[in-house]
Structure 1
Amino acid sequence: MKMNKTLRTLLMWLPSVIITLFFVPNALDKILNSSQTDKIVANSSIMIATGVFLLVSTGMFLYNKTILIGTSLLALYMTFIVFIHMYKGKPYEVAILIVMATIFASYIRKPQLFHPKQEV
C-alpha cells in the first residue's frame, strides 16, 4: 500500500518536474545571457525581467496553493512565444505542446481546479 502511494505521488509530480526542467534553464539563460541579439526584444533589462518572471511563475506553478496562477502565467508566456514563432516563420508546434503539457501537468496535480463547482 505504501509503494502505491509513493508511485502515485511520483507519477503525479513527474510532468511538473519535466515542465520545470524546461522553464528554469530558459529563465536562467535569459537572466545570465541577457544580451541575446537574435530575439525580438534585444533590450537586456527586458530579457532579465522575463527570466525573473519565468522563475517566479515556475515557483508558483510548483506550489500547490498558487498552481492555478503559475499555470496561467506559464501558459500565457508560452502562448506569446507561439505567436512570435509564427510571426518569424519558425516551427511553433513544440511551443504549442509545451503550453498543453503545462496545463496537463497542472490538471494531473490538482484536477478539482478544472471542474466547475456543483450548486446544491
Structure 2
Amino acid sequence: MNIDNFREYCLRKPGTIEEFPFDNETLVFKVMGKMYALSGLKSWEGGEPRINLKCNPEYAQELRGEYPESILPGWHMNKHHWNTIVLNGEISFNQLQGFIDHSYDLIVNSLTKKLKEQLKSLD
C-alpha cells in the first residue's frame, strides 16, 4: 500500500474528511469530526510507513500478540484504544483495509443518534 492507496481508501468511507490538525505532516482522517486514522507523511518517504488506527482493546492486544513486529501500541495515542500498524510487508493490503474498516466502524458506532442520522444522509 502506498500513501495514495491509503488516502483513497479512507476517503471512500462515508462522511470522511482529511485534515492536518496537528501540523503539516500528520494526515488525519475523521468521520463526523472524530478521528479514526492518521499517519505521518514523512514515514512514507522510504522506510516503513506507519498508520495509527483505533481498535477494540481486546482485539488490539490479540493483534499485537499475533504481529509483534507490525502492530504496536499506538504511538502518541491512548495505547489501550489505538494501534500503530508498521507497513513492513507482514500485513497484507486486505488485512490493512480490514483494520481501517474496524477503526471507522468503532467511531461510527460510538456516534450520537443525531450524527448517525446525518452520516446516513450523506450516502
Report if TM-score (shorter chain) is over 0.5: no
* TM-score range normalised by the length of the shorter chain: 0.3 to 0.5
Which structure has the larger Rg? 1
TM-score (norm 2): 0.34
Higher strand share: 2
